Amino acid sequence: MAKTDRTRRQLPGRVLTLAPDAAPQKDMIETLEHILDGARKGAVTGIAFACILKRNRFITDVSGSCATQMTFTRGIIMTLSDELGGAIYNADPDGVR
């Protein structure tokens, strides 16, 4: 995860630090714990992710089989993009965006 390590150097202490007024989102923490549990059991072999930080900064990276199977990973990311696009499109029944 070279990119994440570089990002951590650029943003020391900010990647994993919550400000006092920021409450952790329960669904996000549960999702991360579920993925971590799957990785520990060997079921999750790779991960590609994007994280939004405060002030709309972000981190993207890949690890494991997502780093070695880049074409397949790009397909997975495009599937996520399609799902997000559908969620945006369906968010407002009047079509206002």
The letter for the amino acid at 23 is A
Please give the Cα distance from 52 to 58 (Å, whole number): 4
Instruction: Determine, yes or no, domain membership for 47.
Output: yes
Confidence of residue 24 (pLDDT cuts 50, 70, 90): confident
Report yes or no on 43 lying in a domain: yes
Domain membership of residue 30 as a residue range = 2-15+24-91
Domain contains 96? no
pLDDT digits (tens, 9 = 90+) for 58-78: 999 999 999 999 999 999 999
pLDDT on residue 76: 96
Task: Establish if 38 belongs to a structural domain.
Answer: yes
Residue 97 lies inside a defined structural domain of this protein = no
If one counts the domains in the chain, the total is 1
Question: Between 17 and 95, whose confidence is greater?
Answer: 95
Burial class (CB in 10 A: 0-12, 13-18, 19+), 51: middle
Q: Could you tell me if 24 and 18 are in contact, meaning their C-beta atoms sit under 8 angstroms apart?
A: yes
